[in-house]
Structure 1
């Protein structure tokens, strides 16, 4: 059986999967002719912090590993999300590329420009 910490991490990754997919599609729309894929195992919770002095917010950082084709990882992205503790409103604060990986030659037809 998984530890409760791992279950909580997996649950948070599942909850934020739609946000990760939407942000990745927006980020790569000018670089790729296809939408990058992201599955639950492509998200890693990196950090959670509470910010009581900013109106009680929770800030979560995720590493996202989008892929194209048959699971060819194209980059590592960092997504920061803010949850307002009063009303539960979720806001994506940032989505940035931390690292990119070379695209194999057989997938160059889906690349519009290098990223």
Structure 2
């Protein structure tokens, strides 16, 4: 009986050794802390921040009296492409952001597509609003929701 238990434990340990192990930080789109990739991503996001913030502000001013903020450390880079081929300098960047108001109260999730060309021209080419949270703000932040939005929302619920 002891031999069978030892054999099973040996077999299980051999299988476990063969399985790939993943770092806690091996999450897609999240570089390792203090790495060059993280440094470059932070520079990259910092340079794009005015365009990101403007597109978020343009969208949310229809619904809120305060313009939400996007935290540069909370930008998920979904994809970066060179559609014109290797070593060309036209890039299509797709990101996801979680704008917030006040003490980091999320108001939504948005996907933004940005193009950058080799001479420094940056354009937001697509803004997709994925999910809204602004109607779920706590009572002390309900005053920033534009009135016509809550009225329309309430009338849609009662129908």
Q: TM-score range by the shorter chain?
A: 0.7 to 0.9
**Which of residues 47, 60, 71 is equivalent to 1:15?**
47
When Rg is computed on C-alpha atoms for both structures, the one with the higher figure is 2
Tell me the equivalent position of 1:94.
Answer: 126
Higher helix content, 1 or 2 = 2
User: 1:74-85, aligned counterparts within 5 Å?
Assistant: 74-85=107-118
Q: Could you tell me whether the CA contact under 8 Å between 1:61 and 1:80 is conserved in 2?
A: yes
Q: What SS is found at the alignment partner of 1:35?
A: coil
Tell me the equivalent position of 1:45.
Answer: 77
Structure 1 residue 59 corresponds to structure 2 residue 86: no
TM-score (norm 1): 0.86
C-alpha distance in 2 between matches for 1:3 and 1:35:
32
Greater than 4 Å deviation, 4+ residue runs: none
Q: What SS is found at the alignment partner of 2:82?
A: strand
TM-score (norm 2): 0.64
CA shift, 1:33, in A, is 0.8
Structure 2 residue ranges without an equivalent (≥5): 1-32, 154-159
User: 1:19-38, aligned counterparts within 5 Å?
Assistant: 19-38=51-70
Tell me the equivalent position of 1:107.
Answer: 141
CA shift, 1:88, in A, is 2.3
Higher relative contact order (CA 8 A, sep 6+): 1
Higher strand content, 1 or 2 = 1
Structure 1 residue ranges without an equivalent (≥5): none
